[in-house]
Amino acid sequence: MSATPPIGACPTPASLPVGAGIGLKAQHFADARNAPTQPAFFEVHAENHLGAGGPSHRMLEWVRRDHGLSIHGVGLSIGGPGPLDREHLARIAQLVARHQPDAFSEHLAWSSHGGEFFNDLLPLPYNRATLERVCAHVVQVQDALGRAILLENPSTYVEFASSSFSEADFISEVVKRTGCGLLLDVTNFHVSCTNHARDPWACIQAMPLEAVGEIHLAGFAPDSDDAGAPLLIDAHDRAVVAEVWSLYHRVLDRIGPTPTLIEWDNDLPAYSRLLDEAAVIKRCLAPASHPQEAAA
């Protein structure tokens, strides 16, 4: 690991317990409740829990009683060119008020336009006009929720010629202007930087790492473009690869132990497989908590 000293603790919008988290799906609820080993926290997608009641809320009540809880939004379209959907935001605010999660996060992306919703998180140009719009949207969300949020760096497959900021400079400016924090998705850096032929560690180091409140790790699907160059797809359908674990170790060395989530949203394995991945995180966090022991 690098000998660069940790940045040091700074206030963040999240208060998740430091440890390994698991993304909880309804299919795994019974197994999670009965498992002999429990993660430090669970994360759920907000849009799966917007009904008035029923099993999804009973699941969140159990999580909130016994574990840390992170709620992760996927449909606010914070980077979209149009106004936020006020009805959707109000339902998110009700969910957050009801279950009082330790953290709420959303993506630096857009997923709706002109009343149409897309089943994807789409990239945006990093320019002055987009910056003003994203900041206004983040402030609107934070005002509605009564708390600061974590903003996640996206995985991207194309870039815009109209961009005048690097991703790191753009996100740093959003954090500075709005007071939001950063959900650092290490896999997204590996995916995006491979797709755009950049050094992922250099890009991570340029981010406002003092604002990180949570880390995401996930699997991705390897592919190639029409020219035969590597193209990685942020699929969340398999285990984390060695290159991402290596980046994660370097991140921990830089910022210290941080709540970390395993995302596995497609081709779900047995719950025990997610516990195995979470156990790897625990082993990574332990030496990060004792750097002198790790270096011995």
pLDDT in tens, 110-164: 665 555 555 556 678 899 999 999 999 999 999 999 999 999 999 876 677 787 9
Whether residue 12 lies inside any domain: the answer is: no
Question: Domain of 52: which CATH number?
Answer: 3.20.20.150
The answer, yes or no, to whether residue 196 has pLDDT greater than 90, is no
Whether residue 174 lies inside any domain: the answer is: yes
Whether residue 224 lies inside any domain: the answer is: yes
* pTM for this predicted structure: 0.89
The answer, yes or no, to whether residue 220 has pLDDT greater than 90, is no
Could you identify the residue written with the tokens 């430091």? 18
Sign of dihedral through CA atoms 70, 76, 77, 78?
Answer: negative
Task: Tell me the per-residue pLDDT of 263-296, one tens digit each, with 9 for 90 and over.
Answer: 999 899 999 999 999 999 999 999 655 443 333 3
Q: Residues 243, 196: contact at Cβ < 8 Å?
A: no
- What's the domain count of the chain? 1
Whether residue 205 lies inside any domain: the answer is: yes
Could you identify the residue written with the tokens 């940790």? 6
Whether residue 11 lies inside any domain: the answer is: no
Q: Output b/e per residue, 81-95; b: 16+ Cβ within 10 A.
A: eeebbeebbebbbeb
Span 60-76, average pLDDT: 95
Each as own residue / partner, the long-range contacts of residues 236-240 (CB below 8 Å, 24 or more positions apart, any chain) are: 236/263, 236/264, 236/265, 236/266, 237/264, 237/265, 237/266, 237/267, 238/264, 238/267, 239/277, 240/187, 240/277, 240/280
Q: State the Cα–Cα distance between residues 171 and 165, nearest whole angstrom.
A: 9
Lowest mean pLDDT among 93-107, 165-179, 184-198, 281-295: 281-295
Whether residue 159 lies inside any domain: the answer is: yes
Whether residue 125 lies inside any domain: the answer is: yes
Q: Which residue range forms the structural domain that includes residue 91?
A: 20-291
The answer, yes or no, to whether residue 235 has pLDDT greater than 60, is yes
Alpha helices in 29-146 (DSSP H): 29-34, 55-66, 86-99, 128-145
Of 178, 274, 258, 277, the residue nearest 214 (C-alpha): 258
Whether residue 7 lies inside any domain: the answer is: no
